Amino acid sequence: MEPLLREVLIFALALVMVVVAVALAADQIQTLPGCNSTFGNIQIPYPFGVGMQLIYTTSTTLFLGAQISSWFCNDSDYNNPWITTAAFSISRNENKFLTVGCDSYGLLNSNYENRTYSTGCLTKCYGNNVEIDNGTCSGIGCCQVDIPPRIRRIISLEAATFSNSTRDCSYSFLAKHNSYNFSTSHLQSFPYETLPLVLDWTVGERNCSSLESSRRIATAIVTLFVATTSLYLIYQKRKLSKLREKYFKQNGGSILLQQLSTRENSSQMTQIFTEEQLKKATNNFNESLIIGSGGFGTVFKGFLENNKIVAIKKSKIVDESQKEQFINEVIVLSQINHRNVVKLLGCCLEREVPLLVYEFVENGTVFDFLHTQKKVDSETWKIRLRIAAEAAGALSYLHSAASIPIIHRDVRNANILLDNSYTAKVSDFGVSRLVPLDQTEIATMVQGTFGYLDPEYMRTSQLTEKSDVYSFGVVLVELLTGEKAHSFCRPEEKRSLSNHFLSCLKEDHVFDVLQAGMVNKENEKEIIEVAILAARCLRLNGEERPSICNKANGDAPMDQ
């Protein structure tokens, strides 16, 4: 669902960005592709360029310059140019039509929509030219007129004098407003061949009003799309919020909040994380951050906003019948404060399968430790013995010292973590079960890891703390031998490590199965005692197995 929301949001933002980019580009582009932006010292703005032509009768190419119409009365020579503007129109607001001369008139003609439209002005001179004011175009020596609405395209210019005029010349032209400054000297010799001219432009044959209308269909469409997208996103956000609320209640969030509200020690308070917080912490559960996986879930390395590193477990299964028990387990585990048990920091309940957040232990597992060691000696045994004692102490705490006894149910070397000083921390309580104080065993569906499972539990489905003792016995054998609990690569009689170990111990060949290089005269007796203890933990009858509680509280050699 959330990826869909992101895609819709990205699409909406992309559309808005395109619209904005087009608008900005219209302001930034200076010329059309392939066209120069200047002609001589004249700047030619977009959409014009040197490739855009204004043509008059002599086929001369003009670039934003208006041709002058002239009449020379002495030799009756005249020049009446015409200009085609194609899709461009003469700007009414920016241009004027002017005539310069004495006793002269000028005409401006245009063909628009198959009809001819004309305008013009006339100028008179009275007496000597010195009486004519320079710089003014008021009708004496120079006249000017605004451009009427219908004067737009296919322009022709005419300049003429009255039939009885004795004056020499007259000139008519279109020019940008205020670009021409009249002088009496222009009556004798006009100094310009072209003058600046401003054109309006539109897309195709449409005028500015139609373009404005188009801009308003376009704006409406974008507005409608953005509004629709926003409503859709709001709807999906509310739908997602309701779904998260549903999962929160289903996963016992209300019960957890109620339980936490009665807690006196706020320093031990379990934090309730949102899904977004944990997604951000794991880069949306990126595979590169996976630090462990198994049959019941995947563990990710996460980075919280306060830069704290955590381990986030994402379970694979949902057991509807265990929802309330899961919350009780979270509450109990959040109260555990034992140096050899991985601390539960919080959980996320607003998804179908809850997420658990643990402290991060950086040095891998006992499994990694056993199978990556290159050098094995007597010092190796000291570390392994300490790991065994610390793991036993953690299990003892879970079985007896916690407010409600906890059976781990999946004790194995991959679930015992090590920090930088090789301190052991029991982890992964995904299949653990709480034991009511008035019961010594509970009936459950058999779960665990092959090679570590208690045979009695497999046969009866009755789970007791002695099931953890059996699994711990397998871990002891692994620490003694450096071998895996079960391997199809070994001969059939040796595939089960615990059975092979017990057989060797029974035949007084235990040294044949111990890892080479680890035993010396100083630790030989100690290793034999641990081997015998492992054998007691592996007894088929659970009642004959020792209690981890007793061994962790003083019996040699587990307290060393």
User: Is the same domain home to 234 and 281?
Assistant: no
Q: Which of 313, 315, 311 lies closest to 301 in space, CA to CA?
A: 311
User: Is the same domain home to 414 and 271?
Assistant: no
Residue 347 within a domain: yes
> How sure is the predictor about 6, in pLDDT bands with cuts at 50, 70 and 90?
low
Q: Which two tokens stand for residue 506?
A: 């029974």
- Mapping DSSP to helix (H, G, I), strand (E, B) and coil, where does residue 32 land? coil
CB-count burial class (<10 Å; 0-12, 13-18, 19+) for 384: buried
Q: Which residues face 67 on adjacent strands?
A: 194
Give the domain CATH number at 257.
3.30.200.20
The per-residue pLDDT for 290 is: 92
Residue 37 within a domain: no
Asked if 281 contacts 303 with a C-beta cutoff of 8 angstroms, the reply is yes
* Cα 370 from Cα 386, distance rounded (Å): 14
Of the chain, the end-to-end C-alpha distance in Å amounts to 55
The per-residue pLDDT for 340 is: 94
User: Is the same domain home to 316 and 463?
Assistant: no
The per-residue pLDDT for 26 is: 46
Give the whole-number percent of the chain exceeding pLDDT 70.
Answer: 72
Rounded to the nearest integer, the mean pLDDT of the chain is 79
Split into its structural domains, the chain has a count of: 4
- Mapping DSSP to helix (H, G, I), strand (E, B) and coil, where does residue 367 land? helix
Residue 299 within a domain: yes
The pLDDT of 244-267, averaged and rounded, is: 72
Helices (H) and strands (E) in the chain, counts: 13, 29
User: Is the same domain home to 85 and 153?
Assistant: yes
**What is the span of the domain harbouring residue 6?**
2-30+209-247
Q: Taking 50 as the threshold, does the pLDDT of residue 557 lie above it?
A: no
Q: Taking 90 as the threshold, does the pLDDT of residue 539 lie above it?
A: yes
Residue 187 within a domain: yes
The per-residue pLDDT for 294 is: 66
Residue 35 within a domain: no
User: Is the same domain home to 262 and 150?
Assistant: no
By annotation, the residues acting in catalysis are 410
What values do phi and psi take at 82, rounded to 5?
A: -130, 155
The pLDDT of 343-364, averaged and rounded, is: 87
User: Is the same domain home to 188 and 237?
Assistant: no
Residue 560 within a domain: no
User: Is the same domain home to 237 and 350?
Assistant: no
Residue 374 is assigned to a ligand binding site: no
> How sure is the predictor about 19, in pLDDT bands with cuts at 50, 70 and 90?
low
Give the domain CATH number at 424.
1.10.510.10
* Cα 399 from Cα 552, distance rounded (Å): 11
User: Is the same domain home to 349 and 481?
Assistant: no
Residue 557 within a domain: no
**Domain final residue pick, 309, 330, 359:** 359
Task: Give the global pTM.
Answer: 0.57
Where is average pLDDT lowest: 115-129, 270-284, 412-426, 433-447? Answer: 433-447
User: Is the same domain home to 416 and 497?
Assistant: yes
User: Is the same domain home to 214 and 345?
Assistant: no
